[in-house]
Structure 1
Amino acid sequence: MSEIPQGGLPGGADTPPSYRVLLFDRDGKVQSSVPIPVHDDELAKAVAQRMSNGLSAELWDGLRYIEQFDGTD
């Protein structure tokens, strides 16, 4: 099985990350998709966790799913 390079799309290891946070409303519908200008997973997770603030959120890098936050973290 081939790995999807960081950045979520084919193009090589030098492809910069493209992080975004999806925030969901109480009904589970996407409320917003917010790009975040960071360069590594750990910082992206910290930002996404802070952004969740009572809402469910998902962190993505291009097409690569990273983590879900339930808003109580």
Structure 2
Amino acid sequence: MTVRKSGKDKEIAKLKRELDKANYDLAKKKEELKSTRSELRSLKSEKNKKKERTIRLTEEQSRLLSELLGDTSITNS
């Protein structure tokens, strides 16, 4: 024999489904945020590496230019 659900039981079941969906959506958003943070860290790291290369390059260019011009005060510092 089948037992009919009362109005309260139906409402509880409906609210549980809504809660499950909200929890699922929240977990999905957290995962997206986690991957976005990871991408951001990678981009920052890449930017810092390029910046370091640029600084090294400009220091090397400055040293070479000083040597070409015969200015030893810059290369000795």
The alignment's TM-score, normalised by the length of structure 2, stands at 0.19
Structure with a larger share of its residues in strand: 1
Structure with a larger share of its residues in helix: 2
Point out the structure with max Rg over C-alpha: 2
